[in-house]
Chains A and B, each alone.
Chain A
Amino acid sequence: MSAGARPDRLGVERSGGFGGLTLRASVALDELTPAERAALEEALAPQQPPPAPGPDRFVYRFQLGGREATVQDGQVPAGLRPLLRRLSGHWT
């Protein structure tokens, strides 16, 4: 069972970038700050189609209990950026 399918963990996939590596990390929901929870819920809500992807930008996919959101680097909501900084160095 992947982290993204578990209701108590947030799965994050980082793909693309110059290296083109598809890497994953996960974090327990109760480790998120209230601001990060709010930003996550907003990101997971149905969105307008994302803007055209730029070359070599990272693509982040947030997965939580069957819901997911795909966000390009540079368009990550401010509330989720601290979380991505925490995941730096933990991608596998």
Chain B
Amino acid sequence: MPGRHRPIVPPQLFELIARRGSPEDRDTALRTLSIDHSIRTARVENACLAVPLRRLVTQPGGQPHRTIFDAEHREDVHATTVVRVEDGPPAEDPSANEAYDGLGETYRFYWEVMTRDSIDDVGLPLLGEVHFGEGYDNAFWDGERMMFGDGDGRLFTGFTRAIDVIAHELTHGVIERTLNLRYLGQSGALNESISDVFGSLVKQHRLGQTADEADWLVGAGILGPALHGAALRSLQAPGTAFDGDGQPARMSDYVWTSSDNGGVHLNSGIPNHAFYLVATALGGHAWERAGRIWYHVLATRAVPPDARFHTFALATVRAAAALYGRGSPPVGAVLEAWAQVGVLRSAEAPSPVVPP
């Protein structure tokens, strides 16, 4: 029996004393055996309850744990140069401060709106790495850190200044810890869409905008001079964000391609637009009802990793029914939105798709 709690006196000896010793010795031995047994039982229970206990013994949530690293334009290994830590002084580098603030805003959104404590819901530290690569035209979640390139100045001018980009990347981490949607084809497009949806919600939450006031653009402010347009994607009007935006808004325009893991950044336009339709139909702050419905699908892990649009759509209908009641306006709005983008048929309306 390894470990530092190994008893010095073997339990067999106490059993012997309990059976053959004097009455006092027997009482002592029985008590010791009982205590030892409860300690061992507690140890097993601790192992089973590791995650909830971790939540109890660490902080109660509500506080991000951010560290920003400077990759110093390399892209081969994780950077070790720390430029900003939680509650530490601001960095001299604006990119580091933007990443720090963006991760904080995103954390705050997930905590205050969804009661989610970071990516894993038990306070996972948020690690960002700025100045990744040379003229690097991308930002991504690598499973441990959020990496931010500086852009080549022609296509992109950097990735840390846009809160929705940061929230998009952090949401890839949330998806990985919940639905773990396979990054290919329709499940990949759902992965992308959910990141765009929550990226937009974090932006709207920071700006205090209602669904009607929001611009519903993703990546506004990071486009370089070679890209002409307002942003990279539009949830309101997929395919119109910039010259060359090829996003469809309807299932009949689904793009079949072998590039980009099956067009995951193109076909995300379809579920993106469905979310926009739900949010604007319900009105008010999009995170309050539409966002909660989408998040419910994640939090309850309601679809498998290879889910297609149809599966996800039905899961949002069930989520709306669970949160607001089967005949409620949100259920109607969700059904109508998916019908408009051609994922659900109008005939798939109310009751048949909501299981008892």
Is the C-beta of A55 less than 8 angstroms from some C-beta in chain B? yes
B259 interface neighbour in A22, A55, A74, Cβ under 8 Å: A22
Q: How far is the CB of A1 from chain B (nearest CB, A)?
A: 19
Assembly CA distance A13 to B261 (angstroms): 13
Q: With CB as the reference atom, state the residue of chain A lying closest to B154.
A: A89
Please judge, given known A-B contacts A18-B140, A18-B219, A91-B155, whether A56 and B172 are in contact too, CB under 8 Å.
yes
Q: Are B182 and A19 in contact (CB under 8 A)?
A: no
Q: Are B260 and A19 in contact (CB under 8 A)?
A: no
A55 interface neighbour in B154, B191, B219, Cβ under 8 Å: B191
Interface residues of B in 123-182 (CB under 8 A from A): 134-135, 137-143, 152, 154-156, 159, 165, 168-169, 172, 175-176, 182
Is the C-beta of B265 less than 8 angstroms from some C-beta in chain A? yes
Number of A residues, CB within 8 Å of B? 24
Is the C-beta of A6 less than 8 angstroms from some C-beta in chain B? no
Interface residues of B in 239-281 (CB under 8 A from A): 244, 257, 259-261, 264-266
A18 interface neighbour in B135, B138, B183, Cβ under 8 Å: B138
Q: With CB as the reference atom, state the residue of chain B lying closest to A85.
A: B134
Please judge, given known A-B contacts A18-B219, A19-B219, whether A88 and B135 are in contact too, CB under 8 Å.
yes
Residues of B near any A CB (own CB < 8 A) = 134-135, 137-143, 152, 154-156, 159, 165, 168-169, 172, 175-176, 182-184, 188, 191-192, 195, 219, 232-233, 244, 257, 259-261, 264-266
Residues of B within 8 A of A52 (CB): 182-183
Assembly CA distance A57 to B265 (angstroms): 11
Residues of A within 8 A of B140 (CB): 17-18, 54-57
Assembly CA distance A53 to B183 (angstroms): 6
Number of inter-chain CB pairs below 8 Å: 85
Q: Are A88 and B156 in contact (CB under 8 A)?
A: no
Q: How far is the CB of A75 from chain B (nearest CB, A)?
A: 12
Q: With CB as the reference atom, state the residue of chain A lying closest to B146.
A: A56
Assembly CA distance A18 to B192 (angstroms): 9
Residues of B within 8 A of A74 (CB): 142
Assembly CA distance A13 to B168 (angstroms): 24
Residues of B within 8 A of A13 (CB): 259
Q: With CB as the reference atom, state the residue of chain A lying closest to B261.
A: A53
Q: How far is the CB of A18 from chain B (nearest CB, A)?
A: 5
Q: With CB as the reference atom, state the residue of chain B lying closest to A18.
A: B139
Q: Which of B137, B168, B184, B264: most chain A CB closer than 10 A?
A: B137
Q: How far is the CB of A21 from chain B (nearest CB, A)?
A: 7
A16 interface neighbour in B154, B156, B244, B265, Cβ under 8 Å: B265
Assembly CA distance A74 to B144 (angstroms): 14
The 4 closest A-B pairs by CB, nearest first: A20-B265, A15-B259, A56-B140, A15-B260
